[in-house]
Chain A
Amino acid sequence: MLSCKQSSQLISQSLDRKLTKRELFSLKLHLLICKYCKRFSQQIHSLRVAIKQTVASIEANDTIKMPSSAKNRIVELVDTYRQQP
């Protein structure tokens, strides 16, 4: 019988590799009787979805601009490069 610690490790690993049939079986069995690990599993899965959403929301945020100091530096570097023979 898996402990919650082992079960949480398998839940995390299931996002990174294919579990063996044996692991999957013992995990499913554990999840049937342990509501906390079941909860953990759902939360870890929604976490992955939510992380992708944070990336999308930063990308879409027009109020975030590259500092003009950085832009000026890039312009200078580009010009310097171009002036080289």
Chain B
Amino acid sequence: MTTANMHDWLNQHGDFLYRFALARLRDPHLAEDVVQETFLAAIKSPSFAEQSAPRTWLTGILKHKIIDVMRKNVREIAASDLMTDTDANMDEFFDDAGHWEEKPLAWDMPENALEQQQFLGVLQTCMDKLPTKLAQLFLMRDIHETENEEICKELNISATNAWVMLYRARMGLRKCLEINWLGVN
């Protein structure tokens, strides 16, 4: 067997796999790394030559590599910066009586293709502003729809901690969108 098909696969599917990874990991270097690991895993696989739908097969491998990276990244935060000042962090959103410090403003959701593009652009910027690991936990939950119990088991955190983290991520994103999306309109 030659490496020729692997080269073909890289040409035909490399960019697709890269975008797939980039959309989820949001880091070009991490995206390159997981695509590289995917090709290495593929060539080491005994069933490599029998694949009739290489893109599907490679994407399947890639998904696992992406989730591994997310787990690793998120696991690092679990203990340290999350448990501390959980409530202190929320103080910027609520007063002592639990009322909104700044009341959520009404947004217009995008109504046409152009606005939709702009909205997604702003959302992208806001995702980038979230602490990376928080963003990844959030992506694990909201894109992969990884079950909460599974996340907790993986990260060795309690369900309560996971809810707090996800709550924080959503609060941060919402606030950022409010500032920037309203700014666009």
Contact = CB atoms under 8 A, between A and B. Distances in A.
Given A8-B93, A62-B15, 12 more contacts: A8-B171, A39-B105, A47-B170, A50-B119, A51-B138, A58-B23, A65-B18, A66-B15, A67-B28, A70-B18, A78-B3, A81-B40
A20 interface: no
B120 A40 contact: no
A78 B43 contact: yes
B3 A79 contact: yes
Q: Is chain A's binding surface mostly helix, strand, loop or mixed? A: helix
A57 B22 CA distance: 11
30 contacts: A4-B94, A6-B98, A8-B93, A9-B167, A12-B171, A13-B163, A13-B167, A15-B170, A16-B141, A16-B163, A17-B163, A39-B104, A47-B173, A50-B120, A55-B23, A55-B143, A58-B22, A58-B23, A59-B23, A62-B15, A64-B15, A64-B19, A66-B14, A71-B14, A74-B14, A75-B10, A77-B39, A78-B39, A78-B43, A81-B44
Contacts, number: 137
Interface string A33-69: 0001101100110111011111111110110111100
Interface in A1-39: 3-6, 8-9, 12-13, 15-17, 36-37, 39
Given A71-B14, A75-B10, A78-B6, A51 B171 contact: no
Interface of B: 2-3, 6-7, 10, 14-20, 22-24, 28, 31-32, 35-36, 39-40, 43-44, 90, 93-94, 97-100, 103-107, 109, 116, 119-120, 123-124, 127, 138-139, 141-143, 148, 159, 162-163, 166-167, 170-171, 173-174, 177
B39 A47 contact: no
